[in-house]
Structures are given as structure tokens and as C-alpha cells.
Amino acid sequence: PGKKVLIVYAHQEPKSFNGSLLKIAVEELSKQGCSVTVSDLYAMHFEPRATRNDIVGHLHNSEAFNYGVETWEAYKRGGLSKDLIEEQKKVQEADLLIFQFPLFWFNMPAILKGWMDRVLVQGFAYDLSKAYDGGLLQGKLSLFSFTTGGSKEKYAIRGDIRYLLWPMQHGIMHFCGVKVLEPHICYAPENVSEEKRKEMLTAWTQRLKTLWKEEPIDCSPDWYFK
């Protein structure tokens, strides 16, 4: 109880299956006494492009624009754009980050990737000497909850779905020092019966009830590639 959760949600339609998963998470976690914040990226018209608009005031080097350098310098002097400062504040306060989205092309939707690109800047989320277990966002948990278009069997034929999680869970979250909980994957909700969909939603509700007792995954290559 009293934990803070940020759900970063990337789906255009509130009545979608992803929308139902979001609703359940908000209800269930609130019921537990958690304070839940949702960043509904499409509803916010979140800007996914990393541009010089992310820096307020002067550039560190106006001759040649380097996004990584400029956002790092801007972060240090409090010169990032308002939308980024707001998202960083939500991340800073959260004990748990849940990312809720449909898998697009073996990846997260562009709007969510844009959130990662723009919000998790150097100085805030990581420093090159302070990455992975030393990352700047230590003490937080993360969970990737997503839906797929293909069935579990289809993914099994083409290689483990865990491979796709390496860039997201390891390359972003673990890199920033965030511990990673087992992903929550709902396979092909569009292609299953209404009853099966209800079962999927119930399973998510059940999992959320004991979420805080879970141990994070072992963030080594073995988890992904063995």
C-alpha cells in the first residue's frame, strides 16, 4: 500500500483490449491503496520525435546539433521542455513503471519508443559510468504488458518472443538501473473467443493482486537467449 505506479499507455482506442488491461490495472492497483498515474500517450498527443524543441533556451553547441549532448546539458540546467519535465517527474516518483501497448513489428509502437527516446535522457535516467545495475533509476520496478497479433504457437516457431524483449527490458530498463518483472503477454486477443479474452483479463487481475510479492527476472543474456 502507498506505492506509486506510472502506467505509460500506448493505444488509440479506449475500448480496445489494451484499454481493458489498462482499466483493470488502474482499478486493481488503486484498490490496493497504490497511487496510479497514467500517461495516455495518444490522448496526450505526445510528441515522439526527438528534436531541438526539447531544449528551452540556448543550445550548448549551435553549430552542430547533437540530441544526446544537448538534452544532457539542458537537463543539468533545468532547460528541458515542459512535457519532458512532467514525464520525468512521474518516473522519478514511481515505484513501478508499467508499459501497456500492442506489439507493432516485433517492437513497441513509435509513440512509446519516442517516450523512451525523449524522457530517459542522460543525467536523468543513466550516465555512461552509471548504467545497468548502477543506472540512475535504481530502486524501481518495471513491467512490459502487451498484446500480440500472432498466436503463442506462431511465435514459438520463429524463435522465442523473449528475444524481442532484450532491447526493451535489457537495453532500456535494465540499462537505467530499473529492475524488470516477468512480462505480461496476451497472445492474439483479436483471434480468440470472448471467453478466452475474459480469461486473459482475469489472469491479469489475479497477477496484479500479488504483483508486489514477485521477484524481478534475472537480467542476464541467459534469460533471453537460452
C-alpha to C-alpha distance for 167 and 165, rounded to whole angstroms = 6
Task: Give the CA count within 13 Å in the CB-facing half-sphere of 115.
Answer: 26
Task: Give the CA count within 13 Å in the CB-facing half-sphere of 129.
Answer: 0
- Residue 156: what pLDDT? 85
C-alpha to C-alpha distance for 17 and 36, rounded to whole angstroms = 20
- Residue 61: what pLDDT? 95
Residue appearing with cell numbers 486477443: 189
CATH of domain 4-225: 3.40.50.360
- Residue 170: what pLDDT? 96
Residues above pLDDT 90, as percent of the chain: 92
Strands 141-147 and 179-180: parallel
Q: What is the pLDDT of residues 137-187, one digit of tens each?
A: 999 999 999 999 999 888 888 778 999 999 999 999 999 999 999 999 999
Q: What is the pLDDT of residues 8-47, one digit of tens each?
A: 999 999 999 999 999 999 999 999 999 999 999 999 999 9
